């Protein structure tokens, strides 16, 4: 059953991949009624498609005029709509912002792409790694000799989905206040650049070197990084503040190193070697028993298998297991209107009748769509 701060908000999602489904998942987790327009197909849905959870599916053949008319009718009663096609696709279908806003002037129309709606690369294919490459983010992440892709967290989900969500929610607030909708141009390359704001500021201030592995929080500093343990597993340190670094030295038993050498870059290779040797003396579990929960800013590097079993995650119910599938619980937390997982990823077209009915279509309307091959 739907619950959360977005209960009563109707959002139309045009099915896509990656960050689009992730944005739809969060909106659904927070209580919105998200109706997903899928292409006709044989996908029966699966409980392991975690980012596709929580929505209902209506399968419409957008090559059919009747399907386009149905989508415009759905937009007329929606609070927001979002799509992730290349620029111009929705316009060619007759479902662009001009047509949608003509039907519903208060509609918030979200558009998520890699490169944005305009610019020299707007029509080029790409993926997360390409979008973060031109933002400066990929250059800053990795080993000195090679950039390393940070999964697709920075471009797709951070720079794309999260900025789309911010745009949609801000647009909804504006529309509620003014009755006027607008178009949200959420480009992953823009979002990734925005995420780099602090680092561009540090560079301008002369405290960030434009090289990988040469700064405090990019793996260059020995007190901010990962170390291998005796059992081959890893631990993570974030002992940036002087008092935390001092606590780390104390717990590692390194009492012949002055804490004030923490920011002596010439000493960093020596400090790193000392830390490497120290952490190889114990297993990850032993280090966790000694350091976890202390002000040394320590955590074990956990696998996807181990993370849901960590006591902190268990206590906070950070993960939930639904029908045997362990997955992240809705986030963030709300004190009065907590979110929830509404249901699994449905089969394509599973809600052709119930979904359209709930959005104002009659049985005759639905039958007409079937007759012309639109549904």
The residue out of 296, 313, 330 marking a domain boundary is: 313
- Which pLDDT score, from 0 to 100, does residue 43 have? 83
Return the ∠ at Cα 55 (arms to 50 and 60), rounded to 5°. Answer: 115
- CB within 8 A of 153, min separation 6: which ones? none
Domain harbouring 260, CATH code: 3.30.1540.10
Q: Which residue in 294, 220, 227, 228 sits closest to 263, CA to CA?
A: 220
365 an active-site residue?
no
What is d(CA 238, CA 248) in angstroms, rounded to the nearest whole number?
10
What is d(CA 117, CA 102) in angstroms, rounded to the nearest whole number?
20
Which residue of the set 61, 69, 127, 174 is catalytic?
A: 127
Token representation of residue 353: 């009748």
Q: Which residues in the chain land under pLDDT 70?
A: none
Number of domains in the chain: 2
Q: Which domain holds residue 150?
A: 10-195+322-371
Q: Quick one: 305 and 336 in the same domain?
A: no
Q: Quick one: 15 and 107 in the same domain?
A: yes
Q: Which residue in 34, 70, 30 sits closest to 52, CA to CA?
A: 34
- Which pLDDT score, from 0 to 100, does residue 1 have? 75
Q: Quick one: 147 and 237 in the same domain?
A: no
156 an active-site residue?
yes
Which residue of the set 29, 156, 185, 345 is catalytic?
A: 156
Q: Which residue in 65, 56, 69, 60 sits closest to 10, CA to CA?
A: 56
Q: Quick one: 231 and 173 in the same domain?
A: no
Token representation of residue 179: 């009755």
Q: Quick one: 156 and 247 in the same domain?
A: no
Phi, psi of 300 (to 5 degrees): -75, 145
In this structure, is residue 102 part of a structural domain?
yes
In this structure, is residue 211 part of a structural domain?
no
Q: Which residue has the tokens 């039907």?
A: 103
Find out whether 66 and 374 touch, Cβ atoms under 8 Å.
yes
- Which pLDDT score, from 0 to 100, does residue 53 have? 95
Domain harbouring 177, CATH code: 3.40.50.10540
pLDDT (tens digit per residue) in 79-120: 999 999 999 999 999 999 999 999 999 999 999 999 999 999
- Which pLDDT score, from 0 to 100, does residue 268 have? 96
Q: Quick one: 237 and 270 in the same domain?
A: yes
What is d(CA 21, CA 50) in angstroms, rounded to the nearest whole number?
9
Q: Quick one: 262 and 163 in the same domain?
A: no
The residue out of 287, 313, 339 marking a domain boundary is: 313
């Amino acid at each position: 059953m739907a619950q959360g701060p977005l209960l009563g908000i109707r959002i139309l999602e045009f099915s896509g991949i990656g960050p689009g489904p992730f944005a739809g998942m969060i909106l659904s987790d927070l209580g919105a009624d998200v109706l997903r327009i899928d292409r006709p197909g044989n996908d029966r849905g699966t409980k392991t498609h975690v980012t596709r959870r929580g929505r209902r599916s209506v399968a419409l053949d957008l090559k059919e005029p009747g399907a386009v008319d149905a989508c415009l009718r759905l937009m007329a009663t929606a609070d927001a709509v979002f799509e992730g096609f290349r620029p111009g696709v929705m316009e060619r279908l007759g479902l662009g912002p001009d047509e949608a806003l003509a039907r519903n002037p208060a509609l918030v129309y979200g558009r998520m792409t890699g490169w944005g709606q305009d610019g020299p690369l707007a029509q080029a294919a790409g993926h997360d790694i390409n979008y973060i490459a031109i933002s400066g983010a990929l250059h800053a992440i990795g080993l000195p000799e090679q950039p390393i892709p940070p999964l697709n967290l920075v471009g797709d989900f951070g720079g794309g989905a999260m900025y789309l969500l911010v745009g949609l929610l801000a647009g909804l607030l504006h529309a509620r206040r003014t009755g006027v909708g607008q178009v949200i141009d959420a480009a992953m390359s823009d979002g990734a650049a925005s995420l780099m704001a602090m680092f561009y500021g540090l560079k301008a201030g002369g405290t960030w070197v434009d090289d990988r592995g040469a700064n405090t929080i990019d793996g260059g500093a020995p007190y901010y990084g990962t170390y291998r343990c005796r059992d081959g597993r890893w631990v993570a340190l974030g002992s940036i503040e002087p008092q935390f670094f001092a606590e780390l030295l104390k717990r590692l038993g390194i009492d012949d190193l002055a804490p004030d050498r923490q920011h002596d870059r010439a000493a960093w290779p020596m400090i790193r070697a000392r830390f490497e040797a120290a952490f190889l003396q114990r297993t990850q579990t032993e280090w966790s028993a000694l350091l976890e929960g202390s002000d040394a800013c320590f955590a074990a590097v956990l696998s996807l298998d181990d993370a849901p079993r960590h006591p902190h995650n268990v206590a906070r119910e950070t993960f939930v297991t639904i029908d045997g599938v362990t997955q992240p619980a809705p986030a963030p937390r709300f004190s009065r209107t907590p979110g929830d997982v509404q249901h699994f990823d449905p089969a394509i077209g599973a809600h052709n009748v119930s979904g359209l009915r709930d959005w104002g279509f009659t049985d005759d309307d639905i039958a007409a769509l079937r007759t012309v091959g639109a549904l």
